[in-house]
Structure 1
Amino acid sequence: MLRFALRRLALMVPVLAGLSVLLFVWVRAIPGDPARAMLGQRATPEGIARVNETYGFNEPLVTQYFIYVKALLSGDFGRSIKTAQPVTESFLEKFPGTVELGLTALLLAVVVGIPLGYHAARHQGRLIDTVIVSGSLIGVVTPVFFLAILLKLVFANWLGWFPTTRRQDPQIDATHITNFYVLDGILTQEWDAVLNALTHLVLPAVALGTIPLAIIVRITRAAVADVLNEDYVRTAESKGLARSVISRRHVLRNALLPVVTTIGLQAGLLFSGAVLTETVFAWNGIGRYLFEAIGGRDYPVLQGYILFIALIYALINLTVDMAYGVIDPRVRVS
């Protein structure tokens, strides 16, 4: 297993190197001039020339790329054209918010989705199966921004049960150590801050987790339905084994491989930033940051963000592949 992980990590190097080339060219193919976007109405030929010289945009493209790679190898992702803040510093400030939201949405999708999919497969053709499948279909086709606005309207504006925006109320005097607000509150034992952060998480996590939940329900139902028709399940049932034992040892364990793959893909999507959800709820995360960077032609932010997300996807895929070996010993042996 260790050798497999090291081999996969080594393969990430040429993949990320190739991505950096494509990314560098693609970002500069976006219509618009970053210098003009930065200066706005104050743009003058002298100002544009000064910005281009400061950020090296007047150099040949090949020279710009090698300067960029040299900075990357030293751990420098550059500075934002819009804010002049180091990209790494911005990520460390905003990425915890996206991870906190993404983890909560993923936890909701997994904890609710797998049991629902299992029960739908166990009761195929019955009313509960129809209700669960219909609900998952509605969850898949409902746009995230529409659901987010609806949840905000009903549960925040009309009922007043949850806050409408931000990660925490400004009047909460909370100590932020890691920028994971719930974790920070637990570490500092500021329980009012923990509760406040959790209440802010509910609506955006439900909006963001609905589509992954619906997908996990459908994949789990299909996988469990296939396993239920296997001979070894019927044999276990004929031996009179308890349903809980059959479900745990024979059904769920053999049905989990496609479900784990789906969870890994959904985790990558959630951690890459939920632009619409973060925008609706004014959530200080990576998704909103990226949206603003695209509008401002902020090359260093776009390049650093996409490379960082590519690395996260690669690590999540590695984790999923290693989880296969834990779930199914046949995969581990092969």
Structure 2
Amino acid sequence: MKATAEESQSLVLIVDDDPFIRLILRNCLEREGYQIAEAENGIEAINLFEQLHPHIVLLDAIMPDMDGFECCTQLELLDCNKHTPVLMITGLNDQETVDRAFAVGAIDFVTKPIHWPVLRQRVKRLIQQSQLQRELEAKNLELLRLVTIDGLTQVANRRRFEEYFYQVWQRLKREQRPLSLILCDVDFFKLYNDTYGHRVGDRCLQKIAQAFQDIIKRPGDLVARYGGEEFAVILPNTDTKGATHVADIICHAVRALAIPHQNSQVGSYVTISVGFTTEIPQPDSNLEEIIAAADRALYEAKAAGRDRFVQNILLPKSKNSR
């Protein structure tokens, strides 16, 4: 049975120092519909692997300079080799050789002289298994995304916020680096929903979340929907000056959206209140303290008239306070 249309697009990298063996392998596999690339030694194989990203490697065990075992070991170290099977071709069938082949990362092996029907079936099976593994990983990543992303705003959800905040907290506690947390609340959002309806309210939250995403772009930062109309921003390795700058920008960005809010008590457009704090996590502190400090700052921003940001400075604990 020939390869399916999908499998026919699969690229097989043949690695053998014997040109005659490479020719026979090429002819055999091309008849099955596979695309072929060839390398005559281990070094060339590694270079071609990085360039072409083949779907499977047929690797001769015994070659000069770099043998198949060393080549397989090197291929295993490449980031792009996550799901690429290596089928070792060896003239030896002793226990030590077989164990060594699997130890260096080969998925399977065939012995010389090659039994061609066996080779064809093993190549087909290994490519299918590799494709299924890739598909499964992609589905698992999508499931992980679904359970950590807020369905409405497409930013991180509360669960992801709590998980990530704990990870960052622990890391920065070890590194003794600053961590800033910003909490935001859409001003008079209940009145907004009462005035325009919940669907329009949903679109309002989506626009605000997108504005945050457009601003918060560092790989380590995180924007999350903290609840209802509340958002949180985690800023690792960010001092007070940096957090103040971000708080100012996001307040301005929401104003710049110019989303009409005729019943707002601070103007005619949607605004946000922001509270934030910065701390270098200490061995005797906990992450609940920084959340509570940011929440108090948010409350102060609301009490002071909304449409503004307020910082709450966490004072170091005294030795006698424990």
TM bin (shorter chain): under 0.3
TM-score by length of 2: 0.20
Structure with greater proportional strand content: 2
Structure with greater proportional helix content: 1
**Higher gyration radius (CA):** 2
| Greater RCO, 1 or 2 (C-alpha within 8 Å, sep 6+) | 1
TM-score by length of 1: 0.19
